[in-house]
């Protein structure tokens, strides 16, 4: 009985820690920011300082799956090339929790502001909310993001090598 209470308490703490990680995305769901804010429990304001205005996807939306298979956490595909104006939709498949976090130190100063503006609901600089449930998605527009290479990772699984590279043409 005591173990059951401890496990229930731990599950509650995890749920509270993850509460408010709104995985909706106006670029893919069409929800308004006001509706998303109303549906999200109160949380501190996003910390990143986006210097641009969110630019909508004008090209193709590519998909990257977030998976745990064969004892390996990975993005599938791990390396992807997109054109300016395209978007990427990450889909949580297995091995949760996952997120998309860019290596901020490797992002050129002229790209950081627009990339940040194109990432809704960040939990920290250039870091998406955590995705916990299968089929949850997070979409980023690469419109107005300068051509270049963008390294990213899953924060909870970084030590296990869950990394990816996006090349914007």
Query: For the domain that residue 143 is a member of, what is the CATH number?
Result: 2.60.40.420
Residues 99-115, mean pLDDT to the nearest whole number: 94
Tens-digit pLDDT profile for residues 69-102: 999 999 999 999 999 999 999 999 999 999 999 9
- pLDDT of residue 49 exceeding 50, the answer is no
**Do residues 145 and 115 make contact, with C-beta atoms less than 8 angstroms apart?**
yes
Residues 141 and 31: their CA atoms lie apart, in Å, by 16
- Residue 169 and residue 164: Cα distance in Å, rounded? 16
Count up the domains in the chain and report the number: 1
Average pLDDT over the chain, rounded to whole?
Answer: 78
Q: What is the mean pLDDT of residues 109-133?
A: 96
158 phi, psi to nearest 5 deg = -60, -45
* Model pLDDT, residue 51: 56
pLDDT in the model for residue 52:
72
Domain containing 6 equals 2-168
Identify which of 39, 72, 50 has the alpha carbon closest to the alpha carbon of residue 122: 50
Q: What percent of the chain clears pLDDT 90, i.e. is strictly above it?
A: 66
Query: Model confidence over 122-144: pLDDT tens digits?
Result: 999 999 999 999 999 999 999 99
* pLDDT higher at 163 or 4: 163
> pLDDT digit string (tens) for 21-43?
333 333 333 333 333 333 333 33
């Amino acid at each position: 009985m005591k173990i059951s209470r401890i496990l229930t308490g731990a599950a509650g703490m995890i749920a509270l820690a993850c509460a408010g990680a709104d995985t909706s995305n106006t670029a893919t769901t069409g929800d308004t920011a006001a509706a998303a804010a109303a549906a999200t429990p109160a949380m501190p304001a996003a910390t990143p300082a986006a210097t641009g205005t969110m630019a909508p996807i004008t090209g193709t939306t590519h998909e990257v799956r977030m998976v745990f298979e064969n004892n390996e956490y990975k993005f599938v595909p791990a390396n992807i090339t997109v054109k300016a104006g395209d978007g990427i939709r990450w889909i949580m498949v297995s091995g949760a929790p996952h997120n998309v976090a860019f290596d901020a130190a490797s992002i050129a100063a002229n790209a950081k502001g627009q990339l940040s503006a194109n990432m809704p609901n960040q939990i920290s600089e250039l870091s998406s909310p955590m995705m916990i449930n299968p089929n949850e998605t997070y979409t980023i527009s690469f419109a107005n993001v300068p051509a270049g290479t963008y390294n990213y990772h899953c924060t909870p699984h970084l030590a296990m090598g869950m990394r990816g590279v996006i090349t914007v043409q």
